[in-house]
Structure formats: C-alpha cells, structure tokens
Chain A
C-alpha cells in the first residue's frame, strides 16, 4: 500500500492532470451549446439596436464555426472573455464577483454538514419511526422548495421576523476597510473590525441558510443510507458491548465509517449549490457571480450579455469539476483502503 506523503502528492497531481481533458470538453461543449442556432441571434440579443450594431454582431457570430471557435478559444486562454453589451469587460467583473459566491457556497456547505449529517444519523438511528419520518419530511421539503420561493419567503417574512438583514454583504455599501479577498466575513476579520464581522455574518445567515435548506436532502439522505449500512456491522456491536454510550457509538464509531460516502456526495452537491446562487444572490442582492449570471442571461428583463453568459457557464462548470476533484481527493485521504499510487 502506498500511503506515504510522497504518494499523496502523486495522487493529487494525477487528479489535477485528469482535469485537463474535462476542462477542454467543458469549453468545447459550451461553445457548441451557445452557438446552436446562429440565425436571428443578433436580433434576439440586441432587439432595439441600430443596423450597424447588428451587422457588427453578425460579423462576430455569423462567421463559419471553426474559425469562430479558434478565435474564441484563443481569446479565452488570453483572459479576453469579451465584454457585456454595455461595454464592461467580462473577466475582471467575474474575477471580482467569484469570492463572494465561494463564501456563500462554503457557508451553505458548512450548514449542510453541521445540520444535515446529524439529521441523517438521527433518521438512521430511529429508522422507520416518527423521527425518521420527520427528518424525511424536512429534507424533502427543502428538495421540493423552488429556490425562488425559498429565497423570496426568507427575504420577506423570515428575515424581518428574526431581525436579520436581507440585502447585500454589509449594512453600509462600502465597508471602512480594504477588501483584500472580497469575502465579506474574511475581510472584516483581516481588518480586525469586530462590529463589521458580526454584521457580515448576519448578512450571510439568510442566503446561506436558504441555499443549505434546499440542498440539504442529499447530505441527509446519504448519511442515513450509509449509517443504515454500517449499523448492523460487527464493530458497531462490539462498541456497544464495550459499554460505550449510544452517542459515542453513533458519532465516533458508526458515523466515521458512514462519512466516507457522504464526503463524495457533498462534492456532487456543488452543482446544485452553484445553480442555487443564481436566484439567491439576485434576491438577497449578494454581489457574486450568481447575480452576474442572472443579469447576463437577461433575468428580470435586464439587457442580455452574451459573452458574460458564456463565461459564467464555463466558470460554473469549472467550479463543479474542481469540487468533485476535491471530494475525490478527500475520499482518498479519508478511506484508508485507497491506494495513493
């Protein structure tokens, strides 16, 4: 078995190399899907533009596909991701917005872990009894709540009822300290500004809770399933026979084994979490790429931004691929049976 630190390096590097073909595939597929139907595209994107603008647009998107693809991928690799209809460059805008989205997604993931996994343990412990049914109703409710409904209800009713802020990252638009990371809580902590740290956390609670509630089902369900698989095994019985308390048996012995599967599944939720940010960031006015995507796609009747929409699709896909890779690596680290070479 190769499980020395050097082998771990090889293991991680292998996973990183596997990213390359997937990323190429992502870019090619995005290009194909967004260039499916070219006739009339320019009229759709610029409904009220002058003929000159439409001709320029046709010259850009109406050309044969292969040369278009070559120039598209060249520009992409050079960091030139085009510009919005109003002339704002896409790449700097997305780079500035990305940290806020990562912060929101990580906060939601944290809630999913500290709430969703214990719920799964409880459901497995009382399998088939009322606690199990209640947990099931809870996570299926999250599953069945459309993101927009959850976000709007939280912003209009739950937020004011709990006295939580429902818009933006801070109570003031610009905080009185430099934003190095563009993650609200992290910046406030770096600045050592305690009131603003509390303020930033309060602003994060509602959007992160809605995002977590909607995606909770997979974590809870998977924990429950793995626990049900582990609970009848001999080592759990021995732990009980040793006289350990039920809590210790569940959370130290059984859950530790059940968590290995759940880790992998948490990587899979990255897609749902990222997709959820589109509506949640728009409703809570969270300045991340979800809100950028909402505007770029023409949500709520805004001016569509075609280059921005393509860029956002690629960035989200990269996010999912990287999340899966991290989950894969974590799985390898957690499961002692995985050989790192």
Chain B
C-alpha cells in the first residue's frame, strides 16, 4: 500500500515548511498531532498571558462546593478543598508545557554543542581528539543511569522547588543529545559535499556550522519534538513523588495535583479528580508523540524507503542510480550529492 509520501516525494530544494506539510498530509495521525500541539500551545499562551479568559477561578479560590461531580460550571468538578479542578488543570498547563520545552531545549543546546564538538573534532592525538574522547566517556556514564532516578537523587540534594527539579532533570538529560548529534555528525562529516567544501578552502569552523550542523538539524528537531513529552512525563513524575512542588499552592502542577487527589479522597468515588490532571498530561504528551513519531518515520532511512516506495515487497535498487526514485528520496540527507548538492556548499 503505497500511501504515505509516495504521492508527495520529499525533494531536496523544497522549502522545509513545504516538506513538513507534505509529511503531515501523508500521515493523518501526525496531522492530528500537529493540530493538537498547535491548539495546546495557543491555549497555554492565553492562560499565561490573560488567564481570566479561559480560567474562571483562582488557584486557591474556594467555590463552596466540595467534591462536586463535573458540571457546566465546573467542567472537571471540584475537589475536597472546594477548588475548581478545571481552573487548576488549566493553570498548570503553561508551567508543565514550558518545563517540557525549556528542559528539552536547554538539554538540546548543551548536548547538541558537545555532540557537534565530539563528532567533528575527533582526530585522535589532537586536542580535539582528547576533548572528544572525554566528552563521550562522561556521556556514556550518564547514559547508564535511568534519568528519573538520578534526577530524583539530585533533587534530594538541591532541595524541592521547580527550578531545582528543572536543573536536576537537565543534568541527566543532555547526554542523550550528545549521543544523537555525534552519531549524525559522524554520518555526515565524510560525505562528498563536506570534502568538496574543504577542497574549496572553506574553514573548518564554517564547514561545521554551515554544512554539518545544517544537515544534523532535521533528526534533531524530530527527536526534540518527541522529547518534550518525555521530559513532561519525567518532571510530573518527580512532582508526583512529592519532591518538586506542592499542591495546593499558588502554582498548580499536574503530577503534584494527581498525588494530592489520590490521597485526599477515594478515587473510585471521585474519579474526575485523578483523571483531569492525568489526562492533561496524557493528551499533551500524545500530541507531541503523534507529531514526532510520524516525522521520525520519514527521517529514519530504514522506514523511509518502505514508506516512500510502499511497504509492498519490492526489492530496493542495489545501487541507486541518480534517476531512481529511491535515490531521490535519500537525497534530502545529502547521501547522493551528485544529483542534489547540499545548499550550504553553494555558499
């Protein structure tokens, strides 16, 4: 079944937004994820800037109703302290989303920079070679920890608080980006267009930034999209365990809310208390996952061929000739530079 991108092959030279749109159009689940992500971001922005538009009650404002079931006035009911659950779930959205994007973003910058260095300047025996080896040794050790556990222990030392938890998670998170970016750099750095740029007298630093970095961004963006959800789950789990932020408080957080509700009333009688913050995490994470997972299919060279040419058992061309469709599909990573020169190399 040659759905997916067979009708819309990804061609080099198309604007990234055009490519992005074709990928989304070919994959309905990713399109749904993208729309959901857009909606969540808009809502989060509104809540952050002008909360009264969407949030009727304050974070600790009593409504006078205790453990009321969901109704039009209180879409997710009220809790044992008579707070409006809907308002608190909405107030947590900018914080949780911001932490997901922020923690993943800082990790991307730190890990991405180290990964570029480790992958690009890795000639053995030089200063760069030693730096590269040390970065990878430290990264490997970090990667042997389950990040949640290490982050919990670091939070234990730093003390509770949103910023401390964010720092703890970042400390455990950047190594994943080092591994990803270094792998991509190693795959790209010996391709003919890099050699060509070097032969043309382009400086090493410029090759790194204009030719290598540019071809690493695509997988990085996909990974980042998926990672926002993972970070959100990790952060809210730390909050659930009870060492991040406390609920009730001026700034609600989904994990902490769920932990509080789980202990405050029998869940089987008041399911909405646990479901509201829990589903908020679920919907946010699955939106980013649907988007990222679909994008990843197109970028993964193993699944891409099957998707571009259809999963039907067609043998791939052993040596893709320049005019074969397979080569066309591969060329957006610069693997067939004869047909499709890297745009950076022209500059």
A→B interface (CB under 8 Å):
22, 25-26, 28-30, 33-37, 40-41, 44, 124-129, 133, 136-137, 140-141, 143-149, 152-153, 156-157, 160, 221, 224-226, 228-229, 231-234, 236-237, 240, 271-272, 274-275, 278-279, 293-294, 297-301, 304, 306, 309-310, 312-313, 316-317, 320-321, 324
Contact = CB atoms under 8 A, between A and B. Distances in A.
Given A25-B137, A299-B241, A299-B242, A146 B307 contact: no
B268 interface: yes
A229 B302 contact: yes
A94 to B, nearest CB: 13
A231 B311 contact: yes
A128 B154 contact: no
A320 B172 CA distance: 15
Interface string B293-326: 1000000101101110111111110000000000
Given A29-B145, A34-B154, 16 more contacts: A25-B138, A128-B310, A137-B29, A140-B289, A144-B233, A152-B262, A152-B278, A157-B271, A228-B305, A271-B145, A275-B146, A278-B148, A279-B241, A317-B145, A320-B145, A320-B146
Contact of A144 (B156, B285, B305, B316): B285
Nearest to B241: A299
Given A229-B303, A278-B149, A297-B243, A320 B267 contact: no
A35 B152 CA distance: 13
Given A128-B3, A146-B240, A236 B149 contact: no
B258 to A, nearest CB: 6
Contacts of A278: 148-149, 152, 241
B306 A33 contact: no
19 contacts: A140-B289, A141-B286, A143-B286, A147-B237, A148-B236, A152-B278, A157-B268, A221-B293, A224-B303, A225-B302, A225-B303, A232-B314, A272-B146, A275-B149, A299-B241, A299-B243, A306-B156, A316-B149, A317-B145
Nearest to B226: A143
* Most chain B CB within a 10 A radius of its CB, from A28, A143, A240, A272: A143
A279 B153 contact: no
* Most chain A CB within a 10 A radius of its CB, from B137, B149, B293, B314: B149
A147 B281 CA distance: 11
Contacts of A140: 286, 289-290, 293
Interface string B142-177: 101111111011111111000000000001000000
Contacts, number: 216
B157 A237 contact: no
B242 A300 contact: yes
B23 interface: no
A143 B289 contact: yes
A215 to B, nearest CB: 12
A25 B306 contact: no
Contacts of B306: 124, 127, 228-229, 231-232
Contacts of A34: 153-154, 156-157
**Which size bracket describes the interface of B in this complex?**
35 or more
Interface of B: 1-4, 28-29, 137-138, 140-142, 144-150, 152-159, 171, 229, 233, 236-237, 240-243, 255, 258-259, 262-263, 267-268, 271, 274, 278-279, 281-283, 285-286, 289-290, 293, 300, 302-303, 305-307, 309-316
B141 A22 contact: yes
Contact of A136 (B29, B138, B255): B29
A137 B149 CA distance: 28
Given A34-B154, A127-B311, A299-B241, A144 B137 contact: no
A26 B141 contact: yes
Nearest to B290: A140
Contacts of B29: 133, 136-137
* Most chain B CB within a 10 A radius of its CB, from A29, A128, A143, A156: A128
Contact of B144 (A37, A306, A309, A321): A321
A22 B286 CA distance: 35
Nearest to B155: A297
B141 A35 contact: no
Nearest to B279: A149
B159 A127 contact: no
B240 A33 contact: no
A5 B279 CA distance: 52
A201 B144 CA distance: 31
A58 B285 CA distance: 42
A44 B164 CA distance: 14
Contact of A146 (B144, B242, B281): B281
A298 to B, nearest CB: 6
A26 B28 CA distance: 43
Nearest to B284: A144
A127 B242 contact: no
A147 B233 CA distance: 8
B144 to A, nearest CB: 5
B311 A124 contact: yes
B156 A30 contact: no
Contacts of B309: 232
A203 B134 CA distance: 46
B307 A127 contact: yes
Nearest to B2: A128
A251 B222 CA distance: 31
Nearest to A25: B141
Given A133-B29, A228-B302, A298 B311 contact: no
Contacts of B255: 146, 148
A233 B306 CA distance: 11
Nearest to A40: B159
A35 B157 CA distance: 7
A149 to B, nearest CB: 4
